[in-house]
Amino acid sequence: MKALGRQILVEYYDCDADIINDVAQIENILLSATRAAKASIISHNFHKFSPHGVSGTIVIAESHVAIHTWPEYNYAAVDIFTCGETIDPWTIQEYIKDSFLSKNVSSIEMKRGLFKVAPGEELLFKPKDAGKVNILN
């Protein structure tokens, strides 16, 4: 069985509440983490809730990174989904952990889009229209 993608569901506990309640810091951290993994950023959108909490997504040619934070619990939940073999989602996970000053992390990886392929054959993943999009830096 071969997988089209890998998805990591991450729970960051004991984070710095000020960091995970700052929409600009979170946006910068997630964009930097995504760049560190050499993902192709397509678009991103982040929102600050009142009185606290941030949600956001980064759409990448290889799939997405999404976050929801609960600063009042020093907690953040992140979904990192990458397709193909070129991006290591664990690079993103580690970058975020260090940036949030998280003392405890729980992560689980799932293989997505499992298919049987003939011996020696590979699943081909090419983001649709990846060459035609305006990549953000």
83 classed as catalytic = yes
Domain that holds residue 81: 2-113
Share of the chain above pLDDT 90, in %: 77
Q: How far apart are CA 20 and CA 36, in angstroms?
A: 20
pLDDT of residue 132: 42
| Catalytic site residue from 63, 64, 99, 102 | 63
pLDDT one-digit tens code per residue, 76-107 = 999 999 998 889 999 999 999 999 999 999 99
Q: How many domains does the chain have?
A: 1
| Catalytic site residue from 40, 44, 68, 107 | 68
63 classed as catalytic = yes
| Catalytic site residue from 15, 83, 99, 102 | 83
CATH number for the domain that contains residue 31: 3.60.90.10
Residue 137 is assigned to a structural domain of this protein? no
Q: How far apart are CA 120 and CA 11, in angstroms?
A: 36
DSSP strand E in 14-103: where? 41-48, 54-60, 63-70, 75-83
One-letter identity of residue 50: S
pTM: 0.85
pLDDT of residue 115: 86
- pLDDT of residue 43 exceeding 70: yes
Strands of 54-60's sheet, edge to edge? 41-48, 54-60, 63-70, 75-83, 2-13, 104-115
Task: Give the three-state DSSP class for 136.
Answer: coil
